Amino acid sequence: MTAPTLGDRLSAATAGLPAPLVIVDLDALDANAADLVRRADGVPVRVASKSVRVRWVLERVLARPGFAGVMAYSLREALWLVSHGARDVLVGYPTVDAGALARLGADPAAAAAITLMADDVAHLALAARAAEAGGQRLQVCLDVDASLRLGAGRFGLHLGVRRSPVHDPAQAATLAAAATAYDGVTIRGVMFYEAQVAGLPDSGPGVRLVKRASIADLARRRGRVVDAVQQAIGRPLELVNSGGSGSVQSTVSDPAVTEATAGSGLFVPTLFDHYRSFAPRPAAYFGLDVVRRPGPGYVTAAGGGYIASGPATRSRQPLPVGEGLRLTPREGAGEVQTPLRVVGRGPAIGDRLWFRHAKAGEVMERFDAVHVVQGDAVVATVPTYRGEAQNFG
């Protein structure tokens, strides 16, 4: 007798529920959360909400020892989370949303709970204007570029994402000093997101070399930036945020860091399959039903065109779960149907197929609810951000 597969278990748990649907495997989620805390080695972990987008999951994770605070991706999202009880929300990206800033500046509870992000004097000026109009002092974190820069001029290399223009201690100190000119703004901390370490799988010797060089660079530069900012504002920083799911261990080894951010490591999408720093336990899947058998070696499922953001490459497509299933190169994951190559006869019409998304939270934007599965049963059905009528971009 053939042992039940993961797909068999998920299909049994969701029998009778209409597809397309998305599930979270509760045991895998909890194991991943425990592993992040273990790797953080006593340093608090801030949850990146963009990699979750389900308030029930955020609250469950934040209730565990070792987690503290949310990194939001929108100020409006941060305001909404605070209205539901969040008490420490770092907005991970600068905002120019005048309406949301005005709400923040006029709300004492939100101003105490939310920290804005800035990497330009223009961001500080917007925050100061909202603070003056609303009467609340606003907290700000400076976003410092954590990319690896080698060489100079036209021979220079920039290895990492294009985020903040603030890279070295002098630039950070200049921005921090500028902030002291605004009465309504307080510099709470600094953030470093080392995307070239946290967001790249260990796919080859070249990538691992870049990671080692980046970790060494940050170990030298991060502390100097923190010192420079503290001297510029004349007091210690409360918050030094860094990291990502793929770099927790190296991040927390730096004594300058007060907290690490992680989010994708809770669901473990396909882009996180090839890290050496942790064992992947996929916790989020979406299910589609087979509706056609267009010819020998093919089946077609309804729905499925959930392509991840980033470069339009194969790595951004969803991955079918199970042996002998693969997307077709000409059609890929379709807008309303997805054809797949199969080995042998393959699934029958009405069978349910399971997929993993390339990124963690993005797929949740396609569904109103997520079914929480434990073993072979659905133990809860909870709304996504979309299911709570929230859309933050």
The per-residue pLDDT for 362 is 96
Rounded to the nearest angstrom, the gap between the alpha carbon of residue 23 and the centroid of all alpha carbons in its chain is 18
Model's pTM, two decimal places?
0.91
| pLDDT value at 195 more than 80 | no
Amino acid at 74: S
| pLDDT value at 44 more than 80 | yes
Read off the pLDDT of each residue in 234-263 and give the average, rounded to a whole number: 92
Read off the pLDDT of each residue in 76-90 and give the average, rounded to a whole number: 98
Residue 115 — left, alpha, or beta (φ > 0 → left; ψ -120 to 50 → alpha)?
A: beta
Distance CA 130, CA 183 (A): 11
Task: Look at residues 240, 138, 243 and name the one whose alpha carbon lies nearest to residue 189.
Answer: 240
287, β-bridge pairs: 21, 354
The per-residue pLDDT for 153 is 59
Read off the pLDDT of each residue in 115-143 and give the average, rounded to a whole number: 97
Alpha-carbon distance values, 167 to 74, 241, 362 (Å): 23, 15, 29
Read off the pLDDT of each residue in 295-321 and give the average, rounded to a whole number: 92
> By the 8 A CB rule, do 160 and 146 touch?
yes
In this structure, the number of other CB atoms found within 10 A of the CB of residue 1 comes to 3
Distance CA 168, CA 215 (A): 15
Distance CA 116, CA 42 (A): 25
Question: 360: which 2 tokens?
Answer: 């963690």
Does CATH number 3.40.980.10 belong to domain 26-264?
no
Supply the DSSP string of 80-138, one letter for each residue: HHHHTT---EEE-S----HHHHHHHHT-HHHHHHEEEEESSHHHHHHHHHHHHHHT--E
Chain mean pLDDT for the chain = 91
Distance CA 301, CA 352 (A): 8
> In the chain, what are the domain boundaries?
6-20+283-388, 26-264
Q: How confident is the model at residue 151 (pLDDT cuts 50, 70, 90)?
A: low
Q: Which CATH superfamily is domain 6-20+283-388 in?
A: D-serine dehydratase-like domain (2.40.37.20)
